[in-house]
Structure 1
Amino acid sequence: MIRACLFILSLILALPHGVAIAGDAALAERYAAERQTVERLSASNAAADRRQLGAMLLAGLMTGPDNPLRRPDREAAKAAYGAAFARGDRTAETAVALARLRLAASGPGFRELEGLLRRLMFQGNGEAAHVLALAAGQGAGHDPGEARQLLESAAVMGSVGALTDLAESGEKAALPPLRARAEAGSPRAMLALANIHREGRLVPADPIAALDWLHRAAEAGSLPAMVRYAGHLQRGENVATDPARALDMLRKAADAGSVDAALALGRTAQTDEKRLWLARAAEAGNSRAGLELHTLDLAAALAFRGDTAERQARIGRALEPIAADPEALTKLAGRALDREAAPQVAPVLLPLLRDAALTGNVSAGLALDAWLRAARQVLPADVAGALADALRRAEATDPRAGLALAALSLDGRLGEAVGTGEAVERLFAAADNGIGEAMLRIARMYAHGSLPNRSPLFARRWYETAAAAGVDAASWELAALRMRDSDPAGRAAAERFYLKKLDEGDMRAALALVARALKSGPAEPRLLARARETAKRPADFVALARTLAATGRDGDLAEARRVLAQALAAGPDPEAQALYGLVLTRGDTAGPERREGLALLEREAAAGSRPARLALASALLSSGTFAARHAEAVGLLDAILADEPHDVPARLLLARAYFNGRGVTRDTARGAEIVAAVRAEGAYDRPGATLLEAEWLAAAPTQADAGADPAAMLEAQADRGSVQARTALGLGYLAGLGGPLDPDRAAVHLSEAAANGDRDAMAAFGHLLVNGHGIRTSRAEGQKWLTRAADAGNLAAVDDLSRAAGSGTDKAVGARVAAWLRRAAERGHADAAFQIGTAYLKGAGVGQNDTEAARWLEQAAGAGNQRAARMLKTLAPAADEQQQASKAAAASGGSR
């Protein structure tokens, strides 16, 4: 059979190629010749003819006289091989092909062939042994336990399929014979080796070797290899970009019958040829091609730049062919449209989806919900009711419909159509039916306390159940929950999970372990080295650097810079560049590195990088040093939100600007409005938005809604594991959150947050220990926490330490004060800049230096320190007098 298929393919590839435009006479001739052959073979009773017919049907026949794409017909092929077998054909080609076809159809009739396959195997036929191995593995053979032995026997006999299966299972011994088969000219073996080298199975990942084997497979006539190699040529991936050669290769593969090649041409060729190949693929029964055609028509309508009404009419005509096809509408609705196109398509597409949803079509209703959800719009009540009823009916045959109904209701998408009680009941019913996603949702509810009362115990049990059901996210969320557990055994189990995943090369585990280590100080170099080795994509390096930079410690910031430099060395990446610039603006380096970071962000922002604009706005708003540029930062945020109104980080930064009056007139109501809008999105509260709103409520209780309780909001976030919320609670109780000052409760929350690495909590807890508020006084322990906070960049801790150091009288004490003041000033603290400037004027703890004094006083004055501004005015005349005196001295010396 294999030789027959290759013979047919070689005939096809030998025919003349070109773009194969419709009307090509050669296509019609090929089609007519093929049909004549099929008719002749179908009319014959000879076993050999039936065998040849089966091979042709399995390889696929041309779709039409002007369409070379091939449509395999496995059922007809099975019938043809079956007829040959019934007429006494016991050749290996017929037995193996028929056995494979019957096995694929759940094995009916396979037993009839088993004895013949075993005789062929004993005669040395590896393909027969491979089919027997597959049958044993599926339970269709007599002894499932012999599957591995049969597979190894098939490999020894040279079956490429068996060798590939063994290689994929991690059997290194399969590699040399597989390579030998490839060297002998087997395209299938070449393609298998390409996959092995690309994925790093059995051998270290080697993209160049993978591409070499892929190229050889393509040259040997493998249609899948031709399509994949053409993709490399188009992208310039490990090979010089060559679009013309790629198109030629795709045309040859499509002309030989590859539907995948036709789809690739439909996405990359010029317009006329694009439509031709998509139409051919759709005619060959490929639904993706039909969707691509509709998308192409829609793109043409959207590109029309004339009258608006005419554009909408064209959009309507583009969608008209699928208006009565809810499934096609659903697929089209799921396609990503840019921000400009979506509002133009919505007036035509959404009513069509709505009509389909009202008739009870679930997929149309879910597509409409997804579209409206993305646009932050509610589902109309009539559609919500129709969708709920349709899902209830579907639940009888599909338990997942119950999960969809529950999820939509709990997300607030169905309004009054489904009550909360019904939603929870259906969620548990879906879990009882073994649906892992339902189990995960229940676990999250218990973990977050969003519907049932919060219960870490029940959360753990449901996470474990979901993980056992194969839900990957459940294992990770369970580990995160255990890592926060007060039980050492739970934390140890989480650490074992992360270490196992790290050994498997999972970057998520590396990030979790690094974040955990950073809470108690700098991470071990070995752990950081493993994390960097595990990082593969730019996003991995960015995530690692972001984790490191979050501590604010100088050493961690330096490590973050090294990680980002490593990422950028592999090529430009907007997120990595933006974070690199932002990290450079942090830390003690107020001079060259900070200027370099700002320059980088300014350059990338001017070039249109959204991550850079966001990072630049964050850098400028984070410090009073940049008070003169706060309005510029707000302008950057406005520009980001003009392009993407729902950008969450930009909105939260803007809300904080309104709360603090940085770059805008202080307007806490406006800030609260922004935060409330962010919190309203999504199934669960966004922690960043909740914290920001709670901070505002705590600071301005008279302006808060009567029903809002900032302490409760923060407690909920703290219960979810938010260290920031725990810190905010501690600071809030020191400020009288929800009642009188409560230093005892503050100390409890701050000590826990400090132990988890929050620098603000460390500073506050150290202050409490030094001064004995809510806890027994311990100056040594307090100074330890203050030092850790100062090392992490907390300016309040730096100020506390400078005051503590200043309580002594010797010169060493003065030097320590100056050192702490300099660190605070370099991080943008205006009062510290004023004090270190004064120290340089007086020579207190540092050498007297008017130039340095002026530099720091100018920084303090620029940040709004009025005393520094007045002192600069007094310095100016003195500097002028000194300059005049120097000139006079020079002139006097010259006259002599």
Structure 2
Amino acid sequence: MTKTILTLPRTGQSPGLRLAASAGLLVWLSGCAALQQPDPHVSGPPSAKYEDWFDGGQPRNLKWMHKNTLEKADQLLEAGKPYEAIAQIESLMQQGLPQAYYEMGKIFDQGKSVEPDPARAAMLYSESIKTPSYILGHASLNLATLYREGRGVERNDVLAYHLLQQAMDEEVGARAEVALAELLAEGGQGVSADPALAASLYRKAAEAGNEAALQALAEAHRPGGWLKADPSRAQEYAQRYAEVLERRAGNGDVDAMAKLAGLFSPDGLLGDQPQRRMHWLTKAANAGDSDALSKAGRALLEGDNPRQGLTMLEQAAQNGDVGAMETLGKALLEGNGIPRRPDQAQHWLSAAIAQDSVDAKVTLGRALLTGEGIPAYPQRGVELLEEAAAQDDGLALALLGSYYLDDENKASQPLVALDYLKRGHQLGHPYATQQLGELYLEGRGMPADGQKAAMLLNEAADQGQTAALRMLGEAYMEGEVLPYHPSKAEELLTRAVESGDVSAMTALGQGYLEGTLKERRPSRGLALLEQAARKGDAYAMVVLGRAYRKGDGVPRDLQQAQQWLTRARDAGHSSAEDALAQLRYDQGEAGDIEALVKAAEDGHPGSMASLGEAFLNGRGVQQNLRQARIWLQRAASEGHPGAAADLGRMYLEGQGVQRDPAKGARYLQSAAASGHAGARADLGEILLTGRGLPADPERGMRLLEQAAANGHDGARLALAEALLKGEHVAQDTQRGLELLRGAAEAGDDYAAQLLGEAYLEGNGVTADPQQAKTWLGRASEAGNLSAQTLLGTALVRGDGGMTPDPARGRRLLEQAAEQGHAGAQATLGRELLRGENLEQDRRQGADYLLAAARQGHETARLALAKAYLTANGLENANREQAMLWLNEVMDGDSEMAAQTLHDLLSDEAAIDALQQVSAES
């Protein structure tokens, strides 16, 4: 058999000459000269290498014998003998007949009994139009379609435009008008849009009853279409389109039935009409349309007859419909309205995967990853999702990103997740974009970047991800990565709530209740939280429980707190048990210690620790250090860091146990390793000072820095003192003052006391009596008795350059002394005995010294013991004997003790000795 070899012309962009659209047939028959006339629709005429497609010439048509050959070729094609048919047509091609090239082109274009070969079809069509014939218009139209779609040739809209004009000039009819209208409706590469001309072409074709034109005009006049919105005209064209389809469907055309079903779908041109849609889907399915069978099954599955839908889907799947396999597998996996059948679900999804279904890979991969509906098999789930991701499936990439961010499955690899999510975002998948924004917000595996996070989350929100709105709202409410912006937070969270996000409802309710939004609205917050709780949000239950426990925004009600927290625990919220333990602790303090004991006996570590603390501090129960140690040890053995920290302090101080600094340090180290800021602070101080353990100032400072960074006030103050005084570490006065000032300005009275003391004594700074007075005054007003005593003493004595004010100083000291401050009592006692800064009053001075000595105040005890020795002529006697006497006096009856001391102070020598000791103090 002789084989004709043809050369396919290469396509490219046309030069910048323009054609006149209105020239019609004359343009193409008048040759190249006419091509010089400009056409406003295109960037130029066809390239010179395509001139012979348009330059006319002597027509050549088939003779009767040639037509017989083509008819014979058609018969051979219908008989399934493509090679014999091709041989017949090739015999005509060798004679240079355009119609032969055209018929051969159709065979490879449409895949008539052969594999489709659009490149070969384009080559054949191009040969067919080089010589004019009665098929010139049809061949031009088919070739234009290939160039428009870029099938087998490089897409070239300009060349397609000229070919379509040629088809119209050949009066091909509505098909050419529709194809050109489609190009002009929105324009193309090098082709300007002309909606008015497109509409005119469509209307002309529509008058001839062309389906594509009727459909295009109905869509064009809908809201968002490329013509002015006109619902009535859209409806008119859609109805005419339906009538044409119904005529075809009445003649048994299955494609028309399927299209009619689409017209009545939720987004169809004639609106959602489920019964009419099902009517045509069922007719198409009964006529043997597998796709219609699948769609009908899906519609029934999602509608009011899921069992019939399942039957139809099974039939379509058995017929090899991959979409039906996907839908069937997913339905049997999820069980919405039908019994779950995990084995069958896997069977059909696997069958679809064997046909390279990406959706089936994602559905089954997701289920195997999470164990939803079938036993979890993460390794296989990841494999399937990675296969889908390799095929650029955005959801697969988003799910892989989520998997590698999940700490629970021990697969957390933020950088791997970042790569998957970036790819998913580039493909435009909103869930990937949302997760990527969340990743930048949290700073997992990278520094947090609020600007990128906000951009990505806003993009995801615009794509319908309501969780992205919530994340943005929460971030603006927290004011950490994004700036604190309560009004923006409220707006975003409200939008998320309106979109049905229950978690956003909880966040908004919490913000209103706790006052982290622009204004505190407890009643509104309570209503939102209760609504979210009714919808099953366990965290809303936790927030409500905590609010009632603390009385935050609502009246304190431990019974209500218990109800909400119990519901949260039953709903499976991880923090509910700890919150219940705190509640039981509160109940214990309120007298219901049984609640706390019960929780501890049930084995909850937090409750064990709380019960241990209750026994340790005597809160709600009588102090019992043995029971404290038992419960704290049980909690610590379960890994509770707070219990380990408490035990560490007990062993360091010998509180209820034999003092064992090494053992105490081990407990503190265990708690510190778990991130307990208090343990880090305590261990840091020990290592800094070497109290009970070998000193390690460098490590001690490091631990104090860590604890301070976690917000531990004690660590911050210990750091400040060490840096200010230069004890055990290099002195850094400026930083020490900065730490103290920051804490003092934040309302820490002890920090204010230390700051005032530093300025009073000139410790690390230049003495400044005014600053000392200011900071000690602030601490005193906050109820700090030590600061009040320091300020009172300085005002009485004029210490640190402070202007003396004995009357005010005495008032401050008396107030502190009346509240039991031993230092204030000792100072008043000494000053009243000396009579230098305050009017002398021996009896009252002795009373104050006795009160201070009873509390163990060392200098007060020493002064009284010295007076006793002197009064008895025993100035050089053993001081321990004097202390024993003093202990016996103070351990006895208080009135007798006071009288004994008054009698002692009637001795002038004793008074002199007492005044001498007071002066030395």
Per the normalisation by structure 2, the TM-score is 0.42
Name which structure has the greater RCO, CA cutoff 8 Å, separation 6+. 1
Structure number with bigger Rg: 2
More helix by share: 1
